[in-house]
A and B are shown apart, each in its own frame.
Chain A
Amino acid sequence: MSEAGNHAELTRRRMLQGAGVALTAAVGTAVLGLAGPTGTPAAAAGPGGHDTFDEVYRGRRIQGRPAASGHHHHGADYTVQIDGEELHVMRNADGTWISVVNHYQSHQTPLALARAAVVELQGATLVPIA
């Protein structure tokens, strides 16, 4: 991923944060979730209506899919992995998403959240959390 991509992502996050629209703009999330420069089209929509994704973003493999039935992990029916390690994610009441490394900033889709986590991690490896 280019520096420009990073900049665009930061700018978008800043915009969402500053205008407070992250909390209201649920429309078009599927488009946002799939339209990334290296985005792989979703294989299927999960039971929760969230798309499955599997792509390489800035050199990291990011995967997202609905969690196995019965596996409700802290309010998420969805699981995200970065290079095979679980990223703890949570869904907000308005449908937006946060993760353990972006816990105070909502993202529109699990894919956007996973990409933001890759930016935040700067190459570091996720470790299991208690």
Chain B
Amino acid sequence: MAVRKNQATLTAKEKRDFVDALLQLKRLGRYDAYVATHNRFIVSDTDNGERTGHRSPSFLPWHRRFLLQFEQDLQSVNPSVTLPYWDWTADRTATAGLWADDLLGGNGRSGDNRVTTGPFAAGGGQWTITVRPDSRDYLRRSLGTGVAQLPTRAEVESVLAVQTYDAAPWNSSSAGFRNQLEGWRGVNLHNRVHVWVGGLMGTGMSPNDPVFWLHHCFIDKLWAEWQRRHPQQGYLPTAATANVVSLNTAMKPWNDTTPADMLDHTRHYTYDSAF
């Protein structure tokens, strides 16, 4: 069984294998399809219309399926690779090992926010941004600029304590665990991390920054943790609901996977520890 690990515990070889697999998918032209798919959903998921990938109950199973597909793609390049996660409650500064040259590279430089260190720096010639919202073709970050602080462990605990998975109107104004984890309400977890990283992570094309996968892997882990703590609670809505993916409805773009299929991650992978 594949184990997804905290990025802070990866060996030098595990980091190298992960980075090489990312670069290989990019080289093969497969990486950018994930960026395009993500953006296609994020711009079409609306609060009052059809919504699947974001601002809706299926935010969590959709990204779980999206990450699984990406992880399987990485494994087609190197079968030993699994997605690592970034626990941003613990590794919360721009000097964390995550941002070192042997993993994701560092912050963007002042002036144009261009990342100039690590494997994904523009100067390396291996990470040209092609699916992009504007003319800039280089990876950008602005750590801690758009918002000063990453969420704390106590803030995560407060969201994990929310009993109900989601609630009508099943969008960015909902009460419940999903929307507080996503961040449109309450202390703001997931959204805030995108803003903290800045640059392309703040855009609809956020998977252009490989940290996207480590961030969403931790969000996925927090969903698993919430399930562990609330065994009597489950995905909602269970009944067919207009514009919203209910428990047994297939999700686009795959059309072969329902939220119910995604509830038990241990069929596919486990995590190295509980939160």
Interface residues of A (CB under 8 A from B): 10, 13-14, 17-18, 20, 23, 74-75, 88, 90-94, 100-106, 120-122, 124-127, 129-130
Contact = CB atoms under 8 A, between A and B. Distances in A.
Interface stretch (B76-84, B186-194, B267-275): B186-194
Nearest to B197: A104
A29 to B, nearest CB: 16
Interface centre among B36, B42, B48, B190 (most CB of A within 10 A): B42
B240 interface: no
Interface SS of chain B = loop
Interface of B: 36, 39-40, 42-44, 46-49, 55, 112-113, 131-136, 145-149, 169, 171-173, 183-188, 190-192, 194-195, 202-206
Interface centre among A88, A93, A125, A126 (most CB of B within 10 A): A93
B47 A92 contact: yes
B146 A13 contact: yes
Contacts of B202: 101-105, 120
B194 A104 contact: yes
Contact of A125 (B47, B113, B134, B172): B134
Interface centre among B49, B187, B204, B206 (most CB of A within 10 A): B204
A130 B39 CA distance: 8
A92 B195 contact: no
Interface centre among B134, B136, B173, B205 (most CB of A within 10 A): B134
Contact of A121 (B39, B134, B172): B134
B172 A17 contact: no
A78 B194 CA distance: 25
B44 A105 contact: no
Given A74-B44, A88-B43, A130-B40, A124 B135 contact: yes
A24 B139 CA distance: 33
A106 B228 CA distance: 32
Contacts of A93: 47-48, 169, 171-173
Contacts of A125: 134-135
B136 A74 contact: no
Contacts of B187: 20
Contact of B46 (A10, A75, A130): A75
A122 B114 CA distance: 11
Contacts of A105: 146-147, 191, 195, 202
A123 B176 CA distance: 40
Contacts of A130: 36, 39-40, 131
A14 B146 contact: yes
Contacts of B188: 17, 20
7 contacts: A13-B146, A74-B44, A92-B173, A103-B203, A104-B190, A129-B39, A130-B40
B134 A17 contact: no
B194 A103 contact: yes
Given A17-B188, A93-B169, A120-B202, A101 B47 contact: no
A23 B184 contact: yes
3 A-B pairs closest in CB distance: A75-B46, A104-B194, A93-B173
Nearest to B47: A93
Contact of B132 (A94, A102, A103, A127): A127
B113 A122 contact: yes
Contacts of B55: 92
A103 B146 contact: no
A44 B234 CA distance: 48
B43 A129 contact: yes
A20 B186 CA distance: 7
B173 A104 contact: no
